[in-house]
Structure formats: C-alpha cells, structure tokens
Structure 1
C-alpha cells in the first residue's frame, strides 16, 4: 500500500503542477493583453511617429522585401493561388453533376466567407506577426526593453500597443488585395482556362455575392488581425533564452496565432451565418 501511494502522489502533484502552470500562463497572457489594449490610447497620444513608421514597415516591408511590395504582395500571391484552386475544384466538382455554371457561386460564397479571411490571417501571422515577435524578442534579450523602461518610456504602449494598431491598420488594404486577387484568380481560371462563358460566370457570381457578407468578412479580418498581433507581441515581449529562445518564441507565436485565426473565423461565422450558413438554393 505504501509503495502504491509513493508512486501515485508524485504523478498527481506533477499533473496538478502542470495545470497550475497552464492557468498561470493564461492569466499572465490575459493581463498583458489588457495592458496592451489599455495602452492604445497612450500610443496614439505619445507615439504617433512610431505608429506611422510601423505601418509603413509592415505594409511595404524593409530592405529586399520592399522590392516586391512587402506583405501586401505576399498575401496577394497567396490568395491568387487559393482563388485559382476554387476555380479548379469548383468547376470540376460541379461538372460531375452537370452544373459547372455555378462556379461563380462558389467564388462569391467561399472566397468571401472562408478562404480570403483565413488566407489573409495566415499571411499576416507568417510575415507581420512573426516579424513583430522577432523584433521584440531581440530587444528583450539585448536588454533594450529594460533600457526603455529606465528612461521613462511606456514600453507596452510604445512596443506592443503601437504594433497592434499598425497591424489592424495594415490589414485594411491587405484584405482588400486578398479579396480582389481571390475573385480575379477564380474568374480567370474558370473563363479563360476552362472556357466557361464570362456572362454565365458573372451572372451567378453577382447573384450570390452579398455585400453584407463582404462587410462581415472585413470585420472578421480586423478581429483576426487584432488577435494575431496581441499573441505575437506577447511572445516577443516575454521572450528569453538568447537567440534560440527568440526562435522558439516565434514558432510558438505563429502556431498559437494560426489556431486563434481559425477559432475567430469559426466563432464569427457561426455567430453571423448560423449553422445553415443563411443560404438557400432552389430551382
């Protein structure tokens, strides 16, 4: 009996300790997110120049990345490929039942509600978000953040809140490019490659494209950008362990932000469209 107790209690303590550490990390992250959102006003008030610099850097990139247009060009190419995939899969799947004319419906329905927001979120997490985590992590391990605090700079507002504001601002043209590229790729793939009449495609595309869905999709992209930037700034701000720790923080941040982006998409889609998708097709 003694041997059994001696074997079980350490396991129980380790399990309880793991749960306690997990809840503690959630509490610390929530506290940081609260301070970051609270610091948005201070960032607008005291650090407007830094916000403008970050917007330019995130949108157009720096160095060699600026040559191809930065994040906006990268997300444009990503959504171009996903829009082409809608044309390929949609046309072939509808053709099996003889309704390939509905490919325009697939572009208007799936690109707006799922594909364009998620693709923009993935592109933002992999470029803007990862860059923010790496920058803040490098500043943390080089003790630059501590130096800013010593001279009286509000570090969370200056470093985290400013990047959250810049990310939300940059996602506006980012998402516009993403939606347009996905529409363009689907139309070109269907009408040029598969030879469908452009009139037929445009008829079904315009019939099923709901402007209200575009507005909700845009708000969904903004919510995703806010969540992604909060996650990435936290992991960068709390990085430790030297250069290897910064790399680990970037990996953890990207993984977490991708999960958050998918969760935000599901939550908003269910809240706005419901289980049925608010869609009825009848002949």
Structure 2
C-alpha cells in the first residue's frame, strides 16, 4: 500500500515519529517533498533533498553525441537539467534509520536548490534525536553532506550508529578520481567532505564487508562500481520488498545501462552492477527507489528487449 503526505493531506497510517501529526511543509516548497510507503510492517518515507543542475553530458560520458541528443529529445530534457536528490527514512521495530543524508551546504558549489533534507525532516515532524541509525550508500558529498551541516551532530544521539562498508572508508583514505568526469569543483569538494566526515563521525562508524542486517528486514549489501564501497539497502517484510539503490541507477540507465556517469569511479564495473541489479529487480517485481530518480522515485523495473524500462508507481492518495 502506497500513501502520500502533502501539505493538504496527511497519511495517518505512517507514524515515523509524528509524521502523521506533522505541521505544514516549509513555506518555500511548491511541490510535495515526502512520500510514504509501507513494505509489510516496515514504514518508509522518501524525502527530497532538493535538486542540483547537471549536464546531460555528465550523465552520459561515453555516449555518442547523436545518441545522447536523441535521448534528451525523447525525455524532453535540455542540455542541463535538475538532478533529483532523494533520501529515505525507515522505521523497523524500534529503530528509525536515515538512509543517506543529502547534500548539506557547500557555499563554493552554489547549489541553492539542494541541501533541504533537514528542514524537510522537521516539516515531516521527524525529530533528529529519534534517529537510531544512519545508513550510507557511499561517501559522495550529496549522501553525507547533511551530516556536516553546522550543529547537526549535536542534534543527533551520541550513540548513533552510522553503517557503511569498510571498502568505502578505505577508498576515501586516498580517493582516485582518474576515471571520473565530474563538473569543475566537485572532486575537491568531495575530498574535503569525506575527510571531515571521517573525523567527525569515526566513533559512530559500524562497518561491514559484504552484507549486514541493520534492523529487522533491513539489509545493507555492498555492490561496488560507483565507488568501491557503494552499497544498496534491501527491505523485506510480510512478502513485500523494496530496494534503495543509491547511485547504482540513474534515469538514463534503464534504456542505456552501458552509458557511464561522470561521478562513477569505475565506470565499467558500475555498468555491470547496474545491469545485474536491474535484472534482479525485474525478476522479483519489487519496488525500487534511487537517489537521482525523479521524486518520489518509487516504481518497478521491467525488461524491454536488451535493456530495461522504468515503471513509476501510481501515487496512492
């Protein structure tokens, strides 16, 4: 059962620490920024951290220009468009889990439409002190930046558990950007954010090698590819399933899973991971949510010849 909560309508079936008793959305929000889903007994809230402008070239670095232009026309996209940023709050048993933490605030990158996760959690009535666990798919700045906002750590529990793969921590000790094609300024910003994160949260870290269970029905599994320690989150309860894919999947990756993204540190392995994951999701019919799919990023994967097709779920009011 899917449920949406907007400023006008509130889903009474999803608690998530007073979400259903929430006030209004932030006054500058002109669109819904949170969407509730039930996965068996597990409660899920997809929360938008906003958007950031990315060029089509950055999303398709190995594509022929004509093929890229054709895809843009088919998708009605300009050369530069707003890239969604989604995070997820999960309630399983007595644990409240934040999956990724958004971009935060980096004044050098000038991204005023991003970094809104904290205000939107507050708008949803979610007390940051109620978060027992944070799961990080990887350590790119748009996934850890929200944890680095001034005063954020003081609002979180001292015994907060932050889960991520050991391979990811090892990678950021000396990160390799030689195979990426990021916009100017991002490599330096990513290095700085990762270094600061490891200093501020080292005592909270709970690492794993290949897979770990964070809470009942909530499993974290390392895929690699996008970064060496990139991981996905699998939810399973009462016969229902949902996967949060982090940056394993991008909008163009269904039709052209072989196209590389400029933020991938191992583009060829990232493409192999993408194909394996999309095949698996198409076979299981489970729900998919991903960081950079259009909000609320809830849908299914279908096979389309030699590629795949994204099937958005109908919003349930």
TM bucket (normalised to shorter chain) is: under 0.3
Richer in strand (by share): 2
Richer in helix (by share): 1
Task: Please report the TM-score for the alignment, with normalisation by the length of structure 2.
Answer: 0.20
Task: Kindly indicate whether structure 1 or structure 2 has the higher relative contact order, using CA contacts under 8 Å at least 6 residues apart.
Answer: 1
Task: Please report the TM-score for the alignment, with normalisation by the length of structure 1.
Answer: 0.21
